[in-house]
Amino acid sequence: MLLYLWPLILIIFSQNVLADYGGELSAMKHCAVCHGPLGISARPDSPNLAGLSPNYIVKQLKLYRDGHREHELMNVVSQGLDDSKIQELADWYDSLDVEVTYWNPTKNEQAAQTCSACHGLIGISRNPQAPTLAGQPEFYLVNRLRALREGGKHLDASMVAIANHLSDEETKKIIGWYSSIRIQAYRP
């Protein structure tokens, strides 16, 4: 009886795995190598994409593609993406449900008060312009804040100003806070 059921179980299982990898959206499988199958980062240099608004993902992918946001990997990865593919990818990531699974209120929550109006205190942003910071890898946040401090034509001016007003000590605490939060993503 069990033997008889095995092929069926295997089919169901492989379909679930495929669904986890984005099913129909094959472009997304490339992204999974660095950003994880469900948009939870697989490498310290790569941010989570789960939890980012479609607005924000579209904006950043176009900046990379058009050479305005510089990064050796993302500039290459985004080359083949036209506007409709970019929208499709952003919508796919937006279709994921994101849940905060752990945070430690004693870990410098205070430090993030200045960021919470836009990014959320637990780092889940409700503002489509401002990205979710919860659970972003520490290494990525360090790089990104450094880039914001250095400034540049296509960076958000208010965010550049905020980054420039932070002391090194504050920056370290805030990064510690947001990167210590854990999030998980699900295919609903």
How many Å apart are CA 159 and CA 164, to the nearest integer?
9
Q: How far is the CB of 118 from ligand HEC (least distance, A)?
A: 3
Task: Please say which residue, 1 or 32, places its beta carbon nearer to ligand HEC.
Answer: 32
Q: How far is the CB of 1 from ligand HEC (least distance, A)?
A: 44
Task: Please say which residue, 31 or 40, places its beta carbon nearer to ligand HEC.
Answer: 31
- Please name which of 78, 82, 92 lies closest in space to residue 24, comparing C-alpha atoms: 92
Q: Does residue 71 bind ligand HEC (CB under 6 A)?
A: yes
DSSP reduced 3-state for 186: strand
- Cα 133 from chain centroid? 8
Q: Does residue 34 bind ligand HEC (CB under 6 A)?
A: yes
Size of the site for ligand HEC (CB under 6 A): 40
How many Å apart are CA 24 and CA 124, to the nearest integer?
28
Q: Given candidates 14, 15, 16, 129, which one binds ligand HEC under the rule CB under 6 A?
A: 129
Q: Given candidates 33, 83, 91, 152, which one binds ligand HEC under the rule CB under 6 A?
A: 33
Q: Does residue 142 bind ligand HEC (CB under 6 A)?
A: no
How many Å apart are CA 159 and CA 67, to the nearest integer?
20
Q: List phi, psi (to 5°) of 95.
A: -75, -10
